[in-house]
């Protein structure tokens, strides 16, 4: 039988000869008997990396980092990087934390740490980390401005000035004033009907953006606008689509396999009058396409709830609630204020499924049920504190919470129990079909909003399903959306002024079932009369907005803030599922 030293020498020889699997088999066998030395642990990690096993490689680099004589920072960085390559961000978290302990200014480690922290429900750690970053941003730290992307900053920070300070830019480079002026001054002949291009990576009817927008595309008047859908949608999302892409295949122009320069030429060839960027600073965005200036007028809409710094859009489609006058200094875009609400909705294809029963959902029949269907990233410490106050004040209530991640669920229960709320008062809902997602909502008595990032698509879904939503007045775009939606459905009474009012309003509705039932009745009545779900009305407003932008450009005027006048009030209910 070969001695240990001989076997390990064989493993090193095999590694040098490129026999990575054979070398790894020897090292793993020896590792099961006794800890490996630092050199052999590194060889094992490198074997796993060469074999295309990044998660295993990461674990071995992490083990090596703890051994005497190791270059700990280098090895933790390798472990973090390899675990991210494997798509295992949660497992990369401790490596990022270890790097931050060694170097509080390790930008990559802090960026990853924050990215993962938003998806955890370790409330105390969120509270501490958010406070540290808030203070650094408020002090004007350039380092702090680069460690978190603009989207994730909105999960916890409702301060518009601090949102505007965040400068991490992914997927491209910022536009310059020279590039903007070059685009605007290029000769262009506007068309009738106007040629409108929508640029998105979300052209699939399972994505939240298209759940909202697809009805507008169906309702666009071809006599007013001629629509192109410039598609950078990933393949997996395309395959998950039900029928949106088939319905609009004549409008879809695929840019996914093109370079930024090729995509620019493709959009220019279509002689687009207005390009609408539906992505901003969100996943799979390609801001370089927008910043190449393919259209004389460029507009930000829907995907990113705030100013998309560094992305060359002349206007943002918004409303007077989510962007009041006080917001203007924090935007480089001019406000195109749509009447009623900035958010479009689909009255044609959004389903109205038969509600699931409480028994089917594992909810008690005899207790008041609060509900949240928002992504866990939106459960900020601020949100958590308000929810716990409400649950503590109403001991016969439970919280029905969307939380597909079991680790995050355990963290939430631990935080709730530390706050004095028993874990059995939280009922988790895991992932389900979209039909069941909607059908689970009416089992609740009342939905509790998140802050500072409200429910957006989720709030409109709850209102669509007839569930009242309590929110509070916000301080930036992302935190004002639910108020915009509630006003557009005719229920402004559900908007509280601050956290105390939010808690008190929720508690009042627990004690006053008659008032709560009245709100439910009004939701049912208002769904087909109020503007929120009136897709045709919204499409007319949007077409009017596009025409006003073009008229200004044709007059030789630069972009400026303006408000779109509303259509006359509806006098008869619209028909769900049909274009009248």
Cα–Cα distances in Å, from 364 out to 43, 358, 360, 396, 508?
56, 7, 10, 10, 21
SS3 category, 552: helix
- pLDDT over 70 at 183, yes or no: yes
Q: Answer whether residue 4 shows pLDDT above 50.
A: no
pLDDT at 579: 80
pLDDT at site 193: 98
The arithmetic mean of pLDDT across residues 504-522, rounded, is 98
The 10s digit of each residue's pLDDT in 352-383 is 999 999 999 999 999 999 999 999 999 999 99
For residue 327, the tally of other CB atoms under 10 A from its CB is 21
pLDDT tens readout for residues 206-239: 999 999 999 999 999 999 999 999 999 999 999 9
Model confidence, pTM: 0.93
Q: How far apart are the first and last CA of the chain?
A: 85
Contact 147, 168 (CB under 8 A): yes
Residue 49 to residues 64, 81, 94, 96, 452, Cα–Cα distance (Å): 14, 11, 20, 19, 41
What domains does the chain contain, in order, with CATH numbers?
1-117 (1.25.40.10), 177-337 (3.40.50.11380), 358-532 (3.40.50.2000)
Indicate if the pLDDT at residue 172 is higher than 90: no
On whether the CB atoms of residues 258 and 232 are closer than 8 A, the answer is: no
pLDDT of residue 6: 59
Its sign, for the CA torsion 153, 155, 158, 160, is positive
Take residue 478 and report the two structure tokens written for it: 């992302």
Mean pLDDT over each residue of the chain, to the nearest integer: 95
The CB-side HSE value for 417 (13 A sphere, CA atoms) comes to 9
Share of the chain above pLDDT 70, in %: 99
**H helix or E strand, kind and range, residue 550:** helix 535-554
DSSP state of 443: G
pLDDT at 171: 85
pLDDT at 69 over 60: yes
Helix (H) or strand (E) holding 231: strand 225-231
Assign 5 a pLDDT band (cuts: 50, 70, 90): low
Does an H or E element contain 190, and which? none
Structure tokens at 64: 């090596």
CB atoms within 10 A of CB 42: 19
What token pair was written down for 404?
């597909």
CA 426 to chain centre: 24
Indicate whether 443 pLDDT > 70.
Answer: yes
- Distance, in Å, from the CA atom of 447 to the CA atom of 442, rounded to the nearest integer, reads 10
Express each pLDDT in 289-299 by its tens digit.
999 999 999 99
pLDDT at 200: 98
Identify the sign of the CA torsion 38, 44, 48, 50.
positive
**Percent of all residues in the chain with a pLDDT value above 90, rounded to a whole number:** 92
Kindly state the average pLDDT of the residues 569-576: 91
In whole angstroms, give the CA distance from residue 410 to residue 412.
5
pLDDT by residue (tens digit) across 30-52?
898 889 999 999 999 999 999 99
Q: How confident is the model at residue 2 (pLDDT cuts 50, 70, 90)?
A: very low
Among 290, 288, 303, smallest CA distance to 150 is for 303
Residues 6+ apart with CB under 8 A from 424: none
Distance CA(454)–CA(65), nearest Å, equals: 41
Where b means 16+ CB within 10 Å and e means fewer, 520-556 reads: bebbeebbebbbbbbbbbbbbbbbbbbbbbbebbeee
Choose among 223, 276, 227: nearest CA to 250: 227
Place of tokens 């005719």: 490
Q: What per-residue confidence (pLDDT) applies to 576?
A: 84
Give the mean model confidence (pLDDT) for residues 251-266: 97
Lookup result for tokens 């859908």: 229
Whether the predicted pLDDT of 10 surpasses 80: no
**What tens digit of pLDDT does each residue of 460-493 get?**
999 999 999 999 999 999 999 999 999 999 999 9
The tens digit of pLDDT for each residue in 70-120 reads 999 999 999 999 998 998 888 999 999 999 999 999 998 999 999 999 999
282: which residues sit within 8 A by CB, 6+ positions away? 151, 303, 304
pLDDT tens readout for residues 308-360: 999 999 999 999 999 999 999 999 999 999 999 999 999 999 999 999 999 99
pLDDT of amino acid 577: 83
């Amino acid at each position: 039988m070969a001695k240990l030293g001989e076997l390990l020498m064989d493993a090193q020889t095999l590694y040098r000869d490129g026999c990575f699997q054979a070398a790894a088999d020897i090292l793993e066998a020896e590792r099961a008997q006794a800890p490996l030395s630092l050199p052999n642990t590194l060889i094992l990690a490198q074997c796993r990396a060469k074999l295309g096993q990044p998660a295993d490689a990461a674990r071995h680099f992490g083990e090596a980092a703890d051994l005497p004589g190791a270059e700990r920072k280098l090895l933790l960085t390798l472990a973090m990087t390899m675990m991210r390559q494997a798509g295992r961000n949660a497992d990369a978290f401790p490596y990022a934390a270890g790097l931050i302990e060694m170097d509080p200014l390790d930008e990559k480690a802090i960026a990853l740490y924050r990215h993962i922290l938003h998806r955890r429900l370790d409330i105390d750690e969120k509270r501490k980390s958010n406070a540290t970053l808030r203070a650094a941003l408020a002090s004007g730290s350039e380092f702090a401005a680069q460690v978190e992307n603009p989207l994730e900053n909105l999960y916890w920070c409702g301060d518009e000035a601090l949102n505007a300070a965040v400068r991490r830019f992914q997927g491209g480079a910022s536009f310059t004033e020279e590039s903007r002026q070059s685009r605007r001054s290029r000769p262009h002949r506007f068309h009738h009907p106007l040629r409108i291009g929508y640029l998105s990576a979300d052209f699939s009817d399972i994505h939240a953006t298209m759940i909202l927008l697809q009805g507008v595309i169906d309702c666009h008047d071809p006599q007013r606008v001629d629509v192109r859908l410039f598609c950078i949608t990933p393949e997996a999302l395309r395959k998950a689509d039900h029928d949106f892409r088939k319905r609009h295949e004549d409008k879809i122009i695929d840019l996914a396999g093109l370079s930024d320069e090729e995509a620019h030429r493709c959009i220019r060839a279509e002689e687009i009058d207005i390009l609408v960027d539906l992505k901003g600073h969100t996943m799979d965005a390609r801001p370089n396409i927008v910043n190449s200036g393919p259209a004389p007028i460029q507009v930000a809409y829907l995907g990113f709830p705030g100013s998309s710094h560094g992305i060359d859009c002349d206007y943002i489609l918004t409303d007077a609630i989510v962007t009041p006058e006080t917001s203007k200094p924090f935007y480089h875009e001019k406000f195109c204020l749509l009447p009623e609400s900035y958010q479009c909705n689909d009255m044609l294809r959004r389903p109205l499924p038969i509600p699931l029963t409480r028994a089917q959902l594992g909810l008690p029949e005899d207790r008041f049920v609060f509900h949240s269907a928002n992504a866990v990233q939106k459960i900020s410490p601020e949100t958590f504190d308000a929810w716990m106050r409400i649950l503590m004040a109403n001991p016969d209530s439970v919280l029905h919470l969307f939380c597909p991640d079991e680790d995050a669920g355990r963290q939430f229960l631990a935080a709730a129990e530390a706050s004095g709320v028993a874990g059995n008062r939280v009922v988790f809902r895991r992932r389900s079909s979209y039909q069941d997602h909607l059908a689970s909502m009416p089992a609740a008595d009342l939905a509790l909003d998140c802050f500072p990032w409200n429910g957006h698509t989720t709030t409109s879904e709850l209102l669509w399903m007839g569930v009242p939503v309590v929110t509070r007045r916000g301080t930036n775009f992302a935190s004002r959306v639910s108020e915009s939606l509630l006003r557009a459905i005719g229920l402004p009474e559900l908007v509280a002024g601050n956290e105390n009012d939010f808690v008190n309003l929720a508690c009042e509705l627990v004690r006053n079932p008659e008032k709560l039932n009245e709100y439910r009745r009004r939701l049912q009545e208002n769904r087909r009369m109020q503007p929120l779900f009136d897709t045709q009305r919204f499409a007319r407003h949007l077409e009017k907005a596009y025409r006003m932008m073009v008229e200004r450009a044709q007059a030789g005027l630069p972009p400026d803030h303006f408000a779109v006048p509303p259509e006359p009030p509806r006098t008869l209910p619209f028909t769900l599922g049909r274009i009248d």
